[in-house]
Amino acid sequence: MNQGILFNDQIEFDVVSCTLTFNAMVSGMIVPCIITTPINEQSKALAHFAQHQFDYEIQAEQLIEDEVYQPDGSIKLAFL
């Protein structure tokens, strides 16, 4: 893992857009990591994230290293 990228344990679910969002800190900058999910129930979405958190962090790390940022500075991850 890249020591310059840190992830916190905070995860949020937006029921309207069905997105999970967690943050990465890269060189002092906070980068929102967004997953669009077909799961529309908060408890199930959060359980899914907990089960796949490490895989999502690896995916986010690769996108950050490749500088695949959205115009708003976030990165979009593929649903696993």
The answer on pLDDT for 4 being more than 90 is no
> pLDDT band for position 2 (50/70/90)?
low
**How confident is the model at residue 3, as a pLDDT?**
65
Is the CB of residue 57 less than 8 Å from the CB of residue 5? Answer: no
Q: Could you tell me the CATH number of the domain that includes residue 52?
A: 3.30.160.140
> pLDDT band for position 9 (50/70/90)?
confident
51 is in which domain, residue-wise?
5-77
Mean pLDDT, to the nearest integer, of 43-54?
A: 97
What is the number of structural domains in the chain? 1
Residues 6+ apart with CB under 8 A from 60: 5, 7, 22, 24, 31, 33, 75, 77
Rounded-to-integer distance, Cα 29 and Cα 42, Å: 27
Both tokens of 60, joined, read 């986010």
pTM metric for this prediction = 0.91
